[in-house]
Structure 1
Amino acid sequence: MADQENTTRTYRTSLPWRAFTMITGIVDRVVGWDRLPVPLGLLDLIGLRTRLRQENLHDMSHLPATGTPPVPPLTPDRLVSRSVDGSHNDLTEPAMGMAGSRFGRNIPLDKITPATEDAVLKPSPREISRKLLTRTTFVPATSVNSLVAAWLQFMIRDWFSHGTSPQENPWVVPLADDDTWPDKPMRIMRTPDDPTRPPGASMPQTRVNVLTHWWDGSQIYGVTGEDQGWLRSGEQGKLRVLDNGLLPIPDDPSRDPALVPGFWLGTEMLRTLFTLEHNAICDRLHAEYPSWPDEELFQRARLVTSALLAKIHTVEWTPAVISHPTTKAALRANWFGLAGERVHRLFGRISGSEVVSGIPGGATDHYGVPFGLTEEFVAVYRMHPLVRDTWSLRSAGDDGTILDCEFPDISGANALKVLNSIAMTDLLYSFGTLPPGLVTLHNFPKHLQQFQRPDGHLQDLAATDILRSRELGVPRYNEFRRLLHLPPAGDFRDLTADPEWAEEIRRAYDGDIEQVDLTVGMFAERRPEGFAFSDTAFRIFVLMASRRLNSDRFFTEYYTPRVYSDAGLAWIRDNSMATVLTRHYPGLRPVLATVDNAFAAWEVRA
């Protein structure tokens, strides 16, 4: 550990790296990485990522804590398999990234804004929602399909959750006289307190992630032993699947997934798909290694499935939603290195450098800061505009209409009704041929702006998104950009190229550019070519997309045949989102044959 810390200190302070990051920072400000030829753009992004690693990783775990979750003892099997709660991924700091550990930050701790009434409620998050986010006309992201929206929310259920909000002491949001919201005033539940924070402690606000911070498929496998035990079949490593190909629902009503806020058709479709994929991996491993017992098959298949999810997100989903030539090359380089996939297939890793040979199979590196997902990472993933309001569910065979519906018809308990009445092949075809929304102003789903939770509570998720970032101390747009080494917007016309938007934002924030919320600024700013979301959000991606791989020993030094098996690594190498889809739903093969990326827009069947 000492050697790693010394290496990191050298990395963070060496003169050549400092000079390189200074030069690339100047080029980024003057020209812009997205306006450079691809080779120069890649160099610029490497420099940007290096500076972000040097200056934008901040640890919250070192702050005083009490009553932290107990770390289970290290057992031999945990050395080569993922623990259910995320513990022992880092063998020297076993609590790192486990469920119940704190979120980190990408900003200095003294820049975390205290959650005072004025800081959280002014200007009114409800008025910002009404004036700047309300969808008047659906604006599609035509280069991608709605599996993009489903995938993002499926991934989020693996990465982070602040937990269930307490019912007492909500934020009280006054409403304008002309506001038609039925409950006056509006009440938005608070984010749960950090249970490990010492009472009366004088320190920046902290919150915990009730999920594991690792990219470990916890939305499929659960984060408690009880949940995981219920999901497993107990035979040949497999997960439970009903005879109709769908997933079982617990008898206990309190564990019904349809009662979890945010449960909808898209996420359950993907959970079903990758449960089937886990079982297919088990079949492959059992055929190759017939002596392995149930536990061995399960744990190895979980490793393989989790890595396949990470690969698909890295080299398919993200390049689809930020499809600039430079970012597509950069993201593939995260996995394969600049040497490329062909060299990787023929020769494996040819260098210890992540730039040359990619991150998987390289050295674990936390860059001097214990790993944890960050509140800023959570904030930039607030991309609800991706979700459509209207859905046309159609047949994959002839594109005939099966059901025209609205989002409430495919969310909550209604999602299960649709799953049980329409074939999965047709549902996936429908998602693949419908564009999602563009992440921009005036494009927030109307059904999420007036969303009825399973408990009956009515919620404006647009207002909630604005309030959450303020409540969690995420800086407003201009300060956020400064802290990420970007120039702030000088005025409202500098913020957006649309003069009508500039005037609307000016009025909403009473002429104070410094008060513009992060979400509003990101939705309003100019997007690089091929981007479905903002360049500001991309800066957090540049840092955290690679960090989630760099820090996870199961993606780095434990990404080996001894841990995964030869057959397991081959499965990851040889598969993509398209092969997963067609393996389990072969009726999609004709339409997927026309696209290079399963998240790109599919051609409608004639």
Structure 2
Amino acid sequence: MREYVGKSALRRLFAKLAVAVDRRRRWDRFPTPVSLALLMGLRDSLREHNLYDAGDAASRPRLDPRPAPRWLTARTVDGTYNDLTAPAMGAAGTRLGRNVPARRARPERGERLMTPNPRVVSTALLARGERMIPATTLNVLAGAWLQFQTRDWFSHGTDPEHPFRVPRPEGDHWPDDPILLPRTPRDPHADGDPPATFVNTETHWWDASQIYGSTMEFHHAIRQPRLGHGRVAIGPDGLIDVDPALLGSSGGLDGWWVGLELLHTLFMREHNAVCATLGAAYPAWSDDQVFDKARLVIAALLAKIHTVEWTTAILAHPALRIGMRANWFGIAEERVRNLVGRLGDSEIISGIPGSPTDHHSAPYSITEEFVAVYRMHPLVPDDFLIRAVGDPRRHDELAFLDLAGLRARDVLKRYGATDLFYSLGTAHPGAVTLHNHPRFMQRLRRDDGMVVDLAAIDILRSRERGVPRYNEFRRLLRLPEARSFSDLTGNPRAAAELAAVYDSIEDVDLTVGLHAEPPPTGFGFGDTAFRIFILMASRRLKSDRFFTTDFTPETYTPEGMRWIAENDMSSVLARHYPDLGPALHSVRNAFAPWPVLPDRATSPT
């Protein structure tokens, strides 16, 4: 990690003070102004101490330092030329970085890799019981959104040809012994066995690559040049007009379901709406010119929605409501930003968008630790109630697998996007906690026919990639370690269950610890995961020139900047599915539970 530069001595001193104060009394237990100040100090400390390069400069493609003129003001398909001084930074096919030093990120092997047995961890600690534990402050759309975003940021792919051989625990009813679970594909440029580095198959940037693809094959499939004005492939029926086999471009159709189909459809339609505005304003522009600008606008709108709306829904603490809005608008707030623009370069005063680019202490990449803390499968329900807008008497009950894979399109055609969005908006996801991992994911058949336990895979993934176990992870983030199972969870029953699986508190896997720890008030996940979040949430903006130095009307057009400023998740939904308007009118945040609307036939006119 290169020397951290660009911060005043006073600011570095405050960062150290914030860490010391937070260790004695956690940041969220102070009044809101003090909490905000501590969070800024903690973020500066994380920027200084928890960003590490994976060291793959030799394996990055050699690119002409002078890009084609188009890529000076547009995003490339593969993520190259975002940083013009390091053209391969953040590109698809480059390594994931780390939030911990390489010497502390050792892949586990042999007996340690299987201790305790990942299948035992899955069945004894993670498996959902007969009833899902709901996250009552969120709707299912919030869970779908997270998956929609993570498919933009990262994918390792899988290597089913060289599976792990997990011993079947005594009394387990899995049909095979050993249980075969896929590995992470090997980094072709890595030394050692097992390798300590891994490759991201997607672009690392927040560039809406889940919509537009990270490969030329998908990029060409989604474009509709015959329609002109930069449009993407939405058919006359309003649905995605792409070969279904290509839809789940990140990891194939594994994980694809109607929630993803809805969000992809929504923002492809939004792309075409932006194109219509740009095409009218600039009729002489080529198809590529309109497409490039519309992609910039959609990527920025997704980043804004995630920063200002999704985050404040899942982390509903007063300091976070202010802090995440300040990430986008600054403490001068939205109205000042929209009236007079930026007030100088400070990200604190006027927000990150439009401020100077800064990679802080390492070249930009998504990190393995970021991937690990975003394993939030408990958000997914096993079963869904399909409701009709304005008719509470009409509903169907479907299992998740009825909505998954290629069946998602059939469900969308049968019920329509309006009623499906309404169904997700009026239902709760699961809480991110122990004993709440979806049941169907613990014996799930992949597209290639392999049957897997995704909860056990979650455990194996961190072990094989060298993500530290829970207590070591906390120490490396300068957090106090858990002294015992009771200290970790604060729940005697949960502590006893942990003790029955793990020999020592030091053995607790990261995912298990994250799910076991009590979250701060209003939080949908724990404070340990939050530390990576406050570091990487701002980094995904601050390192990207299209969110910093090039977040300007000259790059986006005045019409594009206005589109970003004037829209949010509710306005996008209402534009394309206006019958959702009454439900959205009643909520401040589209990711909070929507009201069940009264029967249209009996409600007053």
Q: Give TM-score, length-normalised by structure 2.
A: 0.95
Range with greater deviation from structure 2 (573-582 or 19-28): 19-28
Contact 1:334/1:355 (8 A) holds in 2: yes
1:431 paired with 2:424, answer: yes
- Match of 2:183, SS? coil
- Match of 1:169, SS? strand
CA distance in 2, matches of 1:86, 1:34: 37
Give 1:169 deviation, angstroms: 2.6
- 1:404-419 equivalent positions in 2, closer than 5 A: 404-419=397-412
Contact 1:107/1:483 (8 A) holds in 2: yes
For 1:184-243, what per-residue CA distance to the aligned partner results, in whole angstroms no more than 9, with x for missing partners?
21111110001232xx56997111101000000111111122321121110110001111
Q: Note the aligned Cα RMSD (angstroms).
A: 1.7
Partner of 2:442: 449
Give 1:345 deviation, angstroms: 1.3
1:346 paired with 2:342, answer: no
- 1:228-247 equivalent positions in 2, closer than 5 A: 228-234=219-225, 235-247=228-240
Matched pairs, number = 592
Partner of 1:45: 39
Partner of 2:601: none
1:593 paired with 2:589, answer: no
Q: Check 1:171–1:309 CA distance in 2 against 1; reply closer, same or farther (3 A cut).
A: same
Partner of 1:225: 216
1:214 paired with 2:205, answer: yes
CA distance in 1, matches of 2:253, 2:189: 25
Give 1:402 deviation, angstroms: 3.7
1:568 paired with 2:560, answer: yes
Choose from 19, 24, 30 the match for 1:30.
Answer: 24
Gapped runs of 5+ residues in structure 1? Answer: none
1:9 paired with 2:5, answer: yes
Partner of 2:541: 549
CA distance in 2, matches of 1:203, 1:304: 41
Partner of 1:394: 387
Amino acid at match of 1:513: I
CA distance in 2, matches of 1:254, 1:85: 17
Contact 1:392/1:401 (8 A) holds in 2: no
Amino acid at match of 1:246: L
Range with greater deviation from structure 2 (404-413 or 221-230): 221-230
Contact 1:333/1:357 (8 A) holds in 2: yes
Give 1:381 deviation, angstroms: 0.4
CA distance in 1, matches of 2:360, 2:257: 37
Q: Check 1:254–1:439 CA distance in 2 against 1; reply closer, same or farther (3 A cut).
A: closer
CA distance in 1, matches of 2:581, 2:62: 48
Partner of 1:458: 451
Give 1:254 deviation, angstroms: 7.3
- 1:62-461 equivalent positions in 2, closer than 5 A: 62=56, 65-66=58-59, 68-69=60-61, 71=63, 74-136=67-129, 137-163=131-157, 165-197=158-190, 200=191, 205-234=196-225, 235-250=228-243, 260-461=253-454
Give 1:538 deviation, angstroms: 0.4
CA distance in 2, matches of 1:360, 1:179: 52
Contact 1:377/1:544 (8 A) holds in 2: yes
Q: Check 1:289–1:451 CA distance in 2 against 1; reply closer, same or farther (3 A cut).
A: same
CA distance in 1, matches of 2:584, 2:572: 11
Give 1:397 deviation, angstroms: 2.4
- Match of 2:385, SS? strand
Contact 1:110/1:204 (8 A) holds in 2: no
Gapped runs of 5+ residues in structure 2? Answer: 599-605
- Match of 2:483, SS? coil
- Match of 1:404, SS? strand
- Match of 1:184, SS? coil
Contact 2:354/2:549 (8 A) holds in 1: yes
Give 1:176 deviation, angstroms: 1.6
Contact 1:259/1:412 (8 A) holds in 2: no
CA distance in 1, matches of 2:589, 2:517: 27
Contact 1:259/1:413 (8 A) holds in 2: no
For 1:346-377, what per-residue CA distance to the aligned partner results, in whole angstroms no more than 9, with x for missing partners?
11111211111100000000013100000000
Amino acid at match of 1:18: R
1:537 paired with 2:529, answer: yes
Contact 1:21/1:47 (8 A) holds in 2: yes
Q: Check 1:262–1:71 CA distance in 2 against 1; reply closer, same or farther (3 A cut).
A: farther
Q: How many percent of aligned residue pairs carry the same amino acid?
A: 51
Range with greater deviation from structure 2 (444-453 or 512-521): 444-453
Q: Check 1:226–1:28 CA distance in 2 against 1; reply closer, same or farther (3 A cut).
A: same
Give 1:15 deviation, angstroms: 3.2
For 1:33-90, what per-residue CA distance to the aligned partner results, in whole angstroms no more than 9, with x for missing partners?
1111111100000000000001000001356x44x44547610010000000000000
Amino acid at match of 1:582: A
Choose from 50, 57, 71 the match for 1:56.
Answer: 50
Q: Check 1:560–1:161 CA distance in 2 against 1; reply closer, same or farther (3 A cut).
A: same
- Match of 2:239, SS? coil
Give 1:291 deviation, angstroms: 1.8
